[in-house]
Amino acid sequence: MTKTAWVFPGQGSQTLNMGVDLQDLPGAKQKFEAAAKILGWSILDICQQDEATLSRTLYTQPCLYVIESILADILSEKIGLPQLLAGHSLGEYVALYTAGVFDFESGLKIVKKRAELMDSAAGGKMMALMKFGRSELEQALKASENVVLANDNSEGQVVISGTPEAVDKVSSQVKAKRALELDVSGAFHSPLMQNASQQFESVLDTVTFSNAKIPVLSNVEPVATTDKTKLKQRLVQQMTGSVRWREIMLQLAQSNIERVFEVGPGKVLTGLIKRTCKNIELNNVGTAEQLQQVTAA
């Protein structure tokens, strides 16, 4: 049997009109309707509005959670569950839902509050650096306050996060082929999110967590586990901690994963995995057509 992992993308992978082609698939209508009751707005309406609205954290995160959950449910029904799960930032919530850690509605309520807290964060900045000197970056971060490595996506791509002054200072000290300021409201995945993290923990305490049916690799601690207590604590840490995606990809190889499905819009994660793990077969499942292709094979 081919050893398989599913990975779920996070904020930044959203695309206009995503999910529209899923609405007539089994179970999709019920989830879109359930989501509307919890959120007070329509996922499909937001996905068809405009890029600026869809890209606002308040809307992006619930939209991705619902659409990726629909895809995961249909995929698991057609081909069965994989041997390992992981998600990038917001995507970790879909991984936990897929693993049976919490139900769809509970997960969406958590994501809704997370999106509200992160959307209201202010005073921070995030900067993506591509093709940079890692040792140079590590030294600059070590010598600077109020800025951290927020997303360690791959050897050649990271995101730093902190106060605008600190982020600008570090990015000016590191030679990178490209530096891109992210269109976000706050310094996500940094200590500046501490207040939001404390409020978020009280929300998590209202939700019942179960042990995962499948091991999950978490962003802040890329060691697979099914333990509900560890998985819950890692979600608390995730808001202020670094997304260690580079290490997650290395774990895929070390776990002898032969095939990876990126379940969600875009090809961000498979693109990163392709450059890091040369021998893993990659599949994208973000549309009804792609879903049909992989389930018919």
**Which secondary structure element, helix H or strand E, spans residue 66, and what is its range?**
helix 57-79
| Closest residue by Cα to residue 101 from 198, 202, 237, 204 | 204
Question: Residue 297 pLDDT more than 80?
Answer: no
Q: Alpha carbon 9 to chain centroid distance? A: 5
Name the 3-class secondary structure at 128.
strand
Domains along the sequence of the chain with CATH: 4-120+190-296 (3.40.366.10), 127-181 (3.30.70.250)
Question: Residue 123 pLDDT more than 90?
Answer: no
Give the tens place of pLDDT for each residue, 159-195. Answer: 999 999 999 999 999 999 999 999 888 899 999 999 9
Whole-number average pLDDT of the chain: 95
Answer yes or no: 89 catalytic.
yes
Question: Residue 232 pLDDT more than 90?
Answer: yes
Question: Given 13, 89, 144, 161, which residue is catalytic?
Answer: 89
Question: Residue 87 pLDDT more than 80?
Answer: yes
Question: Given 161, 189, 218, 242, which residue is catalytic?
Answer: 189
| Four-residue CA torsion sign, 284, 289, 295, 297 | negative
Q: What is the pLDDT of residue 61?
A: 97
Question: Residue 57 pLDDT more than 90?
Answer: yes
- Give the pTM: 0.96
Per-residue pLDDT averaged across 59-76, rounded? 97
